[in-house]
Structure 1
């Protein structure tokens, strides 16, 4: 029998030992790296960084996502439309230019015709009710077809919009005739046009400079946004009339969501839906009350038209504008009347 020198046996054993050890370590390190890998999600929205929506909704939401994912998900915030313009944020999210986006539906007129039925007068009296109504309509499938190209996280809504002017108080529709009024959506545009004014479509981020330059004479906007976007520095005349409400949402790119492992999808899912809708609504309702009081404290002129659909001066134009919008959506081959009836039911269910 041929004897193998002892030094060869030792060398062979060492190679075998260290070879196995390196292979095991490579596998372990790979597993650890996979477990600790961070996915960064870029979140674009039009609200300023100083706004309550950013500070009290979006920032805590991003922190909660990071905490519940043990740091494996990081949400980078891009306020003030830094990463995508306000009117293309939804499409930018759907296409993957950004991972998460928040946009007011009215910034892209004609893109969400069924959803914007919820903006019609008489359906909501608060941001909380508006958001709840939108989320219900989405969850129950009445408007879900408009979001098949993205992964909706939650709907939310603003409080009722009022009329604000730079040079004169609007007491009746006669006073608004011939004025150039910024509107946030097709719904508000129809209503403003029915009053005899010229509706001008502008993202809210552009309103301040447009007022300064005299491009518009006034605007329609919820009270809270008057303070958020510093518009109260220019407009001093306010008609507190709830003649429309604005819809908005937070949505996620489908691919960005689908490629997440199941446990991280669960983190996103558990931080979506009605709870976020109501949180946003509560914050926006508080803003509206404070901003209205601020205007009064500053000596701005404010008049109240609390129930315009039953006000002799206002009901005619508002009902005319409502019917025009529903007719326009029906003409697209969509069931506007059916969604309008469902919106009424959701409105009643969501009433505070």
Structure 2
């Protein structure tokens, strides 16, 4: 009897210990889940010292970490160290990186409807362009181009200009025979319409290409001129709003969907049009500062503020624009409708 009693007490004790251990394990697991840190790798092609990185992207990453109480950490990888400039969006879609930023124009034919917003006459600032892009996205006009990722922001970068070394460009005739770096199909068509030869390459390659004479000049918004040290080489600028580049920041869908609801909300609260406008404002301010620095340096400045009504420039700009629209229509897309909707959105997005 005593033996059976001892065995019963021993069995009860073991069950109690096991139960406590299980409860402790469950408690520990729940604590671990609540305190787990999700690390998001953010890839882009700009340099670490680029002010878009330091003034827009890094503060965004810090705010995500703060709003999530440290449960999300964003690691930024600049200078295309994780993905090539023209492959970052696809790398994000495939989960090679968690978040990526790239210029839509770096992947020809991938975002044809979005790039209609790059055509001359649509916008005059990065912030206005960002507003247009998000209106078109929210209305479903261009949303299908981003279905394979979780979109965070669509960003305008400001008006393009022409930059050369000792080669003033006052009319399209001055461009004939020049090799001009182009960032997108839109800019390429317009450059070609002037008689110049468009040369495609990412921003990170332009310094060496210009230094070695591979190109004679480049089409760029003003902000990258300082960011990529191009102001060391170029000394002549034509301020002509003949195209407007766009950027996309997106997140891998699975990475987003696997977040707890409260962390999804942190991402949502810090993305969309508001995020786009914050980044675009840095572009607008930086564009103005870079232009002012060039003037102070004594560079030659040629201004063509309204080229669509300029007798020399209107022809090539309209020809290049129509070539792009025809190219998009040839792929079966309603380019003309999107073009009209972009112009209508522009009127409601004046900044």
Q: TM-score range by the shorter chain?
A: over 0.9
Deviation at 1:35, TM superposition (A): 1.1
SS in structure 1 of the partner of residue 237 of structure 2? strand
- Number of the residue aligned with 2:103: 104
* Deviation readout 1:41-100 (Å, 9 max, x if unpaired): 111011111111111111111111112222221111001111101010011111111011
In 2, distance between residues paired with 1:14 and 1:330? 78
- Number of the residue aligned with 2:211: 212
In 2, distance between residues paired with 1:102 and 1:194? 30
Deviation at 1:7, TM superposition (A): 5.4
Asked if residue 337 in structure 1 is aligned to residue 336 in structure 2, the reply is yes
Give me the CA root mean square deviation. 1.3
- Number of the residue aligned with 1:79: 78
Asked if residue 67 in structure 1 is aligned to residue 66 in structure 2, the reply is yes
Deviation at 1:271, TM superposition (A): 0.9
In 2, distance between residues paired with 1:216 and 1:249? 27
Which is worse superposed, 330-339 or 61-70?
A: 61-70
* Deviation readout 1:294-332 (Å, 9 max, x if unpaired): 001111111111100011111111011111111111111
In 1, distance between residues paired with 2:7 and 2:143? 72
Which is worse superposed, 329-338 or 12-21?
A: 12-21
In 2, distance between residues paired with 1:116 and 1:93? 20
- Number of the residue aligned with 1:246: 245
SS in structure 2 of the partner of residue 215 of structure 1? coil
Retained in 2: the 8 A contact 1:167–1:217? no
- Number of the residue aligned with 1:185: 184
Asked if residue 54 in structure 1 is aligned to residue 53 in structure 2, the reply is yes
- Number of the residue aligned with 2:142: 143
- Number of the residue aligned with 1:305: 304
Retained in 2: the 8 A contact 1:45–1:80? yes
SS in structure 1 of the partner of residue 214 of structure 2? coil
- Number of the residue aligned with 2:234: 235
Deviation at 1:16, TM superposition (A): 3.4
* Deviation readout 1:194-220 (Å, 9 max, x if unpaired): 000000001001000000110000000
Retained in 2: the 8 A contact 1:127–1:158? yes
Retained in 2: the 8 A contact 1:129–1:351? yes
In 2, distance between residues paired with 1:329 and 1:65? 37
- Number of the residue aligned with 2:115: 116
Deviation at 1:8, TM superposition (A): 4.9
Deviation at 1:21, TM superposition (A): 1.5
In 1, distance between residues paired with 2:100 and 2:331? 27
* Deviation readout 1:213-239 (Å, 9 max, x if unpaired): 100000000111111111111111100
Deviation at 1:12, TM superposition (A): 4.1
Q: Structure 2: which 5+ runs fail to align?
A: none
SS in structure 2 of the partner of residue 86 of structure 1? coil
Deviation at 1:164, TM superposition (A): 0.4
In 2, distance between residues paired with 1:275 and 1:63? 16
- Number of the residue aligned with 2:256: 257
**What is the TM-score normalised by the length of structure 1?**
0.97
Which is worse superposed, 187-196 or 56-65?
A: 56-65
- Number of the residue aligned with 1:32: 31
Deviation at 1:256, TM superposition (A): 1.0
- Number of the residue aligned with 1:41: 40
* Deviation readout 1:110-164 (Å, 9 max, x if unpaired): 1111110000001111111111111111111111111111111111011100000
Asked if residue 271 in structure 1 is aligned to residue 270 in structure 2, the reply is yes
SS in structure 2 of the partner of residue 75 of structure 1? strand
Please identify runs of 4+ aligned residues in structure 1 that moved more than 3 A: 2-14
Q: How does 1:190-209 map onto structure 2 within 5 Å?
A: 190-209=189-208
**What is the TM-score normalised by the length of structure 2?**
0.97
